[in-house]
Amino acid sequence: MAVKRFTVLDLIDMDLKEHNALNLRCIGGRKGLSRVIDIPDLNRPGLALSGFYDSFAYQRIQIFGRGEVAYLRKLASEHKTDTIQKMFEYPIPCCIFTHSLLPDSGFFEIAEKAQCPILQTDLPSSEFSSRLLRVLSTIFAPQKSMHGVLVEVYGIGVLILGDSGVGKSEAALELIERGHRLVADDVVDIRCVNGNILMGSGANKIIGHHMEIRGLGIINITHLFGVGAIRDKKQIQLVVELEEWNPEKMYDRLGTTDLTIDILGVKVPKLEIPVKPGRNIPIIIETAAMNERLKKMGYYSAKEFNQNILKWIESDSARSVYYGQDDFI
């Protein structure tokens, strides 16, 4: 799936907090803030500044740390600006100076003429690079939207799917009342991070923690149950599909069949739960979440039960053969 257009200005305006904060501010080249960032990677332009431009990764964000700034000062003292001018002939997305460092006035002039944004952060180069790569990997991650409800149950992210009116929101509401947390209702945005982690969140931050309950209307989960009943995003670790009870369908009664669903190329464990009057769906989902936690710890209840049955059958058969011998007649 194509990634939306992401510009340097979008990077500066991102509302990032705590360990994800980039602390970026623009110190030059404001006319180029609309430049698009196409590649979620970084480059240290040391070789380019020395005049070696073979395989120059100009499509990436250029990071200037203490080493690059020291070399820029050396070039300025020697009045050598040809390599800098050549660097800005490439369509660089932006240049970022770490450690609150500043380039010389000559660098600013060349960047302004090329309309290339110059940004600054107070973070060290290594810390800033790791944060920026983490942020970019999330932004450029493959994504899709699914109609369902995402809740956190005993630490497991459970995506509840099903046809409209089957009772997804009602089941989620009961789970919230029992102390679990809502991530998103109705539309869930899913991103595949690092190639194997599915992160789900609400499609809209403003209405993400509201729920539509037929016969009741729109309710605000935060106001009704408090901020402890919500969270902004959660890894999807289990998919529960609710469906109307079909008497002609054979449902798994032992749990030995491991169903999965493919979401953005990642296989996620899936359960099909039939809905009919008298079935307590929230308790079933709670139990499924706890059972999934046991599986991640290496304990499979259904497989252990199956092995115990086989052992019992084998021992009983052996006992029948033993007592059926002629020596005991």
Give the active site residues.
Answer: 147, 168, 186, 253
Q: Cα(37)–Cα(234) distance, rounded to whole angstroms?
A: 26
Q: Which residues on adjacent β-strands are paired with residue 151?
A: 158, 182
Tell me the CA distances in angstroms from 57 to 90, 195, 222, one per residue in order.
Answer: 10, 23, 46
Of 237, 266, 9, 20, the residue nearest 137 (C-alpha): 20
Which one-letter amino acid corresponds to residue 132?
L
DSSP, collapsed to helix, strand or coil, labels residue 269 as strand
Q: Cα(242)–Cα(244) distance, rounded to whole angstroms?
A: 7
Q: What residues contact residue 27 under an 8 Å CB cut-off, 6+ apart? A: 97, 102, 118, 119, 120
Tokens matching residue 115: 């309309």
Q: Cα(69)–Cα(325) distance, rounded to whole angstroms?
A: 92
DSSP 105-143: HHHHHHHHHHT--EEE-SS-HHHHHHHHHHHHHHHTS-E
> Do 96 and 62 touch, CB atoms closer than 8 A?
yes
Strands 217-220, 233-235: parallel, antiparallel or unpaired by DSSP? unpaired
